[in-house]
Amino acid sequence: MEDRFESLIEGLLDDQFASTADFLSPDLVDRLRTNLLTRLHQGQMHPAGIGRAIGFQTNASIRGDLISWLDDAPEDEAEQEFLALVREFMAYLNRTCYTGLNALEFHYAIYGPGSFYKRHKDQFRSDSGRRFSLVSYLNEDWLPIDGGALVLSPEQNGEKVIFPEGGRMVLFKSDEVEHEVLPTVRPRMSITGWLKTVSY
């Protein structure tokens, strides 16, 4: 486990982002994907907004995904397992990098064919709580012709193209790394979230 965490953190320190294949087990990916599809069929996935509170609006010309938030203390065992892993990673980051993270929020997301998310940063101007973005993909057998790449543009060096292969975990600094999701050909599923520092 710590090896998996360590390889993510090393990339983060060197490049402002990290990407690791097979971070989630195939079994956990299957169970989370089933949950997402159940929520979709029950009408619980909704257009994502841009900004927060007063600035909140939905706009499919900027982002076209449907999302559904995870509970902090979910009943579902796969979600419990996922959040336990993320909390363990957050504690590891705090221990090794003194990051002082103390909160998290995650949602399922699905991009239907043709949808995308234009270039953006994840930190709202009105809310600096989001420190690290974590994206985990839930797709089976993704091919480059399926589109839907995540393109990261770290400040120092070029662009990094990442395909949303099931089990892959991507981590980057929310306030530093601009990124976009290119139009997808197939439905594209993920759990995306943020590690935060909030003052209570």
DSSP letter at 63?
A: B
Contact at 8 Å (CB) between 81 and 28?
Answer: yes
150 touches ligand OGA (CB under 6 A): yes
Q: Considering only residues 120-149, where is the footprint of ligand OGA by CB under 6 A?
A: 122, 135
- Of Mn ion, ligand OGA, none, which one does residue 192 interact with (CB within 5 to 8 Å by kind)? ligand OGA
Cβ nearer to ligand OGA, comparing 35 with 192: 192
Closest Cα to residue 68, out of 34, 110, 30, 32? 110
Cβ nearer to ligand OGA, comparing 91 with 185: 185
- Of ligand OGA, Mn ion, none, which one does residue 190 interact with (CB within 5 to 8 Å by kind)? ligand OGA
Min dist. Cβ of residue 177 to ligand OGA (A): 10
Min dist. Cβ of residue 52 to ligand OGA (A): 13
CA distance 165 to 21: 8
Cβ nearer to ligand OGA, comparing 62 with 77: 62
Binding mask 171-190 for ligand OGA (x = CB under 6 A): --------x-x--------x
Number of residues that bind ligand OGA (CB under 6 A): 9
CA distance 4 to 45: 31
Contact at 8 Å (CB) between 80 and 74?
Answer: yes
Q: Which amino acid is it at 45? A: M
**Residue 67: partners with Cβ closer than 8 Å, 6 or more residues away:** 45, 46, 47, 48, 107, 108, 109, 192
Q: Which residues bind ligand OGA (CB under 6 A)?
A: 109, 117, 122, 135, 150, 179, 181, 190, 192
